[in-house]
Amino acid sequence: MKRQVIAAILAAVAMAGFMAGSMAAAPPYPQRIISFVPSITEMLFLIGAGPRIVGVSSFDHFPADVEKLPRVGALIDPDLEKVLSLRPDLVITYGSQADLSAKLATAGIATFSYRHGSLAGIPETLRQMGSRLGLDQAAAAAASSLERDLNGVRDRVRGAKRPKTLIVIGREPRSLRSLNVSGGIGFLHDLADLAGADNVFADVARESLLVTTETILARAPELILELHYTEAPSAALVEAETKTWAPLSAVPAVRNNRVVLLFGEELVLPGPRVIETARVFAGAIHPELTQTPR
Amino acid sequence: MLRADNVSFAHGGRRKPGRTATPYAAQDFPGPAPGIHHVSLSIERGDLVGILGPNGSGKTTLLRLLGGLLQPADGRVTLDGTPVGTIPGRELARRVAMVPQETHLAFDYSVIEVALMGRYPHLGTFELEGPRDIDIAREALAATGTAHLDDRSFATLSGGEKQRVVIASALAQEADILLLDEPTASLDLGYQVEIAALVARLNRDRRLTVVVATHDLGFATSLCRSLVLLKSGAVLAAGPVRETLTAGSIESLYGVRADVRFDDRARRVTVVPLERIPHA
Amino acid sequence: MRSVRQRLAGWGLVFGLLALAAVAGAPLIGSTRISLARAFDSAVPFADNVDAQIFFIARLPRVIAGAVVGACLAGAGVVLQALLRNPLATPFTLGVSAGAALGAVLAISLKLQLSLWGVSAVTGASFVGSIGAVAIVYALARARHRGFSTNVLLLAGVTLNSFFSAVILFVQYLSNPADTIQTLRWLMGDLGIASYTPILAALPMAAFAFVAFAWLPRALNLLSLDADAAASRGVNVVRVQQVAFFSSSVATGAAVALGGPIGFVGIIVPHLIRLLVGSDHRVVLPISALAGAAFLVACDVVARTAMAPVELPVGIVTAIIGGPFFLWLLIRKR
């Protein structure tokens, strides 16, 4: 009996030691992070994980620190070799990069798969990143701050008449062909909604859709927000591009000169800078209410 | 009336543009592309001439030069004294018609449509075929024994029928000179005899001047009255069949020792090949 | 067998009416119900008349563009098939659309902020690109012989297609995702020009091409035999081939500039028409043009109404109809 008890205790101690050893061997949180998703890169910097980033996508430009970091490709051309050579312990991928995620899993590298969607998903992703990286407090603070700021924008425009708004996310330059607009899903729709506008295509359950000029004439938006993901060109070119809408004068937005072109690469990023986008939207949608310096 | 004077031609070098757009590319011939070297010959009305030679001797090239499809680099080809290169295409087509070796139709035409294509030189750009044109086309089909096929699709015909329809199309041009390139190349014996008989009849009844390029000795001897023996682009011998086709000329042309005699019953020269002479 | 005149008159009537019905009827169809009375009511100022703007700006230009593009692509398809003696040739076989695509891609990626005579940079650049491709292919086809070899032409065109496609992919690699999406949309074809200016710009080119198309058909018939047979019947083969090449390229370039590279029209329509009317190009060419116009206008109606308010790229509609049609043709031939 005594021998069995000693054997059991020895076994238990051995197991505990083994488990403790294995836990001590692995770091508790990822320390070498690669991010293919620019908006998440921004989040990481925001919550203080910037120093842990060892590689970013080809399209990362913010904050300025990323310019020094190695590039690992992007959505359609991820460079697996480069990724592996950087010895990451966490790779943040797009949800559609299933192939990449599978290969990384085979290599024993943890991944976080991101599918971007709504506005509410942004603070949520911040919190997820926080818990994944052991920066819960910073993440919670950043998320709450973002939510607070967004609510602030919502409050500021509350009660104001909500214009019927067309959100154009792409079209052929100097032409009304290939009009790509935001449907009723996605963070751009959410932002416009927050900033006090009614998306004329809110009934379409898609993030983006091609529409005809006929549909636009039929839905008669009172405001057209056109998003461009580059720096603003000269005023003359902006005006020329705005004038492209002139033939559709029966659209209230055109008739009343409420076609607003917005520029900036942050417009396409569902990251922490959405608060700036929200303010810009609010300024464009309710110029009478907001005095945002631009 | 159709003469070649010291005509020379070489593929691949600088060429004067001819009427044709697709010259033989080098890959059409296994060895060096054939040229024509200082060939002179004269064809009179009503002649039935065979251009005889092995593959690659330049028969087709010579035929195309005679037909004005290629322009010679040296020398000239004249029709009744006028260089063929200066005769406008349609006008020349009303005098000289050519039947190529094989006809591959890219699209599906009916037999009567193919025959009517021969009327092109007689019609203006926007002129539609009239009743007379249709009659001539039908006559041409009848002359080649294909009138009963007129509504059939060309693609569904047998090899012999196709060849006869193409000849009919050439006849519809109402030309007085007919150039035939290897008309029996892909036909079996029955059709060969048929075509030979047809050509002989056309020559006799319509006084059609016929020039046939062939490597088939039997066909040449059964049909032609005179021969031009072509070896490596140059004329080896020319003249009536009995004079040109000798054991010596055949040896020189084909590298084959043969027994050549005149068969009194068939009234023609017969050639029986005996053995191959090894190359020197 | 009925004469050419009879067949042309008969089929011309059928397809002429079809094309007319398409062009007249398509502007009446759309995802929105409009009041024609109000649209044509001159008392209402045009600037405020939604119905009128839907009819005259949203619908009518794309119907007319569809007719022009459809006629050009179908006609170019017929001519090119005859030139290359291959029923599988399309207006895009010789690299014209690849050149146009490269022009458009560059215009989008370089953000060319130009607009010439009311024509956007993308439209203009795509036309310039198609002309460039034509020039290169022609130069290559001429270089080897002082004649004009259709074999070399085909090789040059196919090579150019591959090369330009690679360059396009390369440019897309370097450009940002938003531009890539824009390029992809253009590549799927879009007739939604909402303006008559591009049509007016394309019309001279289309007219020039169709004048040549009027001259070609009989010669194309003879070319179907082979070059020698055609030449020995008095056809100036080189000239016919040059005219065929240039006219079909110009027609294709104009069509692609107007609506992007819309596939299948240039091959379905000629095939279908040949099945119906025979192979005589004097009938096939004009009837194909009419049928092409009707077909594309119809496809565009489907594109803009089938999934309203979402607009389908018209190139997808022609592909959805074209693919099964081809399979059916193949099965039928067995």
Using pLDDT thresholds of 50, 70 and 90, give the confidence band for residue A148. Answer: very high
Can you give B23-57 as a three-state secondary structure string?
A: CCCHHHCCCCCCCEEEEEEEECCCCEEEEECCCCC
Compare CB distances from C147 to B17, B92, B108 and report the shortest one's residue: B17
Whether residue C39 contacts residue C55, with contact meaning beta carbons closer than 8 Å, is answered with yes
Q: Which is nearest to C91 in space by CA: A183, C100, C197?
A: C100
Residues of A in contact with C202 (CB under 8 A): none
> What chains are in contact with A, requiring at least 3 Cβ pairs below 8 Å?
C
**Quick check: A22 pLDDT over 60?**
no
In chain C, domain spans: 4-333
The CATH topology of domain C4-333 is ABC transporter involved in vitamin B12 uptake, BtuC (1.10.3470)
Angle between helices A121-133 and A136-157 (to 10 degrees): 170
Q: Which long-range contacts (CB under 8 A, 24 or more apart) does C199-205 make?
A: C199/C61, C199/C64, C199/C65, C199/C68, C199/C258, C201/C117, C201/C118, C201/C119, C201/C123, C201/C257, C202/C68, C202/C254, C202/C255, C202/C257, C202/C258, C203/C68, C205/C127, C205/C250, C205/C251, C205/C253, C205/C254
Beta strands in A115-197 (DSSP E): 164-170, 179-182
Question: Is C88 at the interface with chain B, CB within 8 A?
Answer: no
What pLDDT shows up at residue C83? 92
**Quick check: B108 pLDDT over 70?**
yes
Percent helix, strand and coil across chain C, each to the nearest 5: 75, 0, 25
As for how many domains chain B has, the answer is: 2
Residues of C in contact with B18 (CB under 8 A): 147, 231
More confident site: B191 or C310: C310
CA separation for the pair C36, B159 (Å, rounded) = 63
Question: Is C236 at the interface with chain B, CB within 8 A?
Answer: yes
Contact B/A (≥3 CB pairs under 8 Å): no
What pLDDT shows up at residue B31? 43
What is this model's ipTM? 0.87
What pLDDT shows up at residue C116? 64
**Quick check: C328 pLDDT over 90?**
no
Tokens 């539609």 label which residue? Answer: B128
Enter the tokens of residue B79.
Answer: 């029709």
Enter the tokens of residue B152.
Answer: 């059939």
Enter the tokens of residue C229.
Answer: 């047979």
Lowest mean per-residue pLDDT among B56-65, B174-183, B262-271: B262-271
Q: What dihedral angle (degrees, nearest 10) is formed by the CA atoms of C152, C155, C156, C157?
A: 120
Average pLDDT over residues C268-293: 93
Average pLDDT over residues C108-117: 70
**Quick check: B27 pLDDT over 70?**
no
Model pLDDT for residues A84-142, shown as the tens digit of each residue: 999 998 999 988 888 888 888 888 888 898 887 789 889 999 999 899 888 889 999 99
Using pLDDT thresholds of 50, 70 and 90, give the confidence band for residue B114. Answer: very high
DSSP type of residue C313: P
Model pLDDT for residues A165-210, shown as the tens digit of each residue: 999 998 888 889 889 999 999 999 999 999 999 999 999 999 999 9
Q: What dihedral angle (degrees, nearest 10) is formed by the CA atoms of C66, C72, C76, C79?
A: 130
Percent of chain A with pLDDT strictly greater than 90: 44
In a shared domain, residues B145 and B276: no
What pLDDT shows up at residue A26? 45
Query: Quick one: closest CA in B to C8, which residue?
Result: B128
Contact B/C (≥3 CB pairs under 8 Å): yes
**Quick check: C149 pLDDT over 80?**
no
Domain of residue B255 covers: 246-280
- CATH classification at residue B193: 3.40.50.300
More confident site: A261 or B126: A261
C-beta neighbour count of C130 within 10 angstroms = 29
CA separation for the pair B159, B138 (Å, rounded) = 20
Q: What is the bridge-based pairing of β-strands A33-35 and A53-56?
A: parallel
Cβ–Cβ gap A213/C194 under 8 Å: yes
Average pLDDT over residues B260-269: 76
In a shared domain, residues B20 and B154: yes
In a shared domain, residues B113 and B164: yes
Enter the tokens of residue C256.
Answer: 């692609």
**A211: which strand partners?**
A179
What pLDDT shows up at residue C1? 59
Residue type, C301: V
Mean pLDDT of chain B: 82
In a shared domain, residues B229 and B146: yes
Percent helix, strand and coil across chain B, each to the nearest 5: 35, 25, 40
Q: What is the bridge-based pairing of β-strands B256-263 and B96-99?
A: unpaired
Local structure of B70: helix, strand or coil: coil
**Which of C170, C185, C191, C305 would best serve as a mutation to test chain A binding (most A beta carbons within 10 A)?**
C185
In a shared domain, residues B30 and B136: yes
Model pLDDT for residues A228-250, shown as the tens digit of each residue: 888 888 888 888 889 999 999 99
Cα-based angle C83, C64, C30 (whole degrees, multiple of 5) = 125
**Quick check: B10 pLDDT over 90?**
no
**Quick check: B151 pLDDT over 70?**
yes
What pLDDT shows up at residue B36? 82
Using pLDDT thresholds of 50, 70 and 90, give the confidence band for residue C144. Answer: low
DSSP letters, C319-331, are HHHHHHHHHHHHH
Using pLDDT thresholds of 50, 70 and 90, give the confidence band for residue B12. Answer: low
| HSE toward the beta carbon, residue C311, CA cutoff 13 A | 27
Enter the tokens of residue A44.
Answer: 């990481």
What pLDDT shows up at residue B16? 46
Model pLDDT for residues B46-85, shown as the tens digit of each residue: 889 999 888 778 888 888 888 888 888 888 888 888 888 8
* φ, ψ for residue B39, nearest 5 deg: -90, 130
What pLDDT shows up at residue A149? 93
In a shared domain, residues B262 and B208: no
Mean pLDDT of chain C: 88
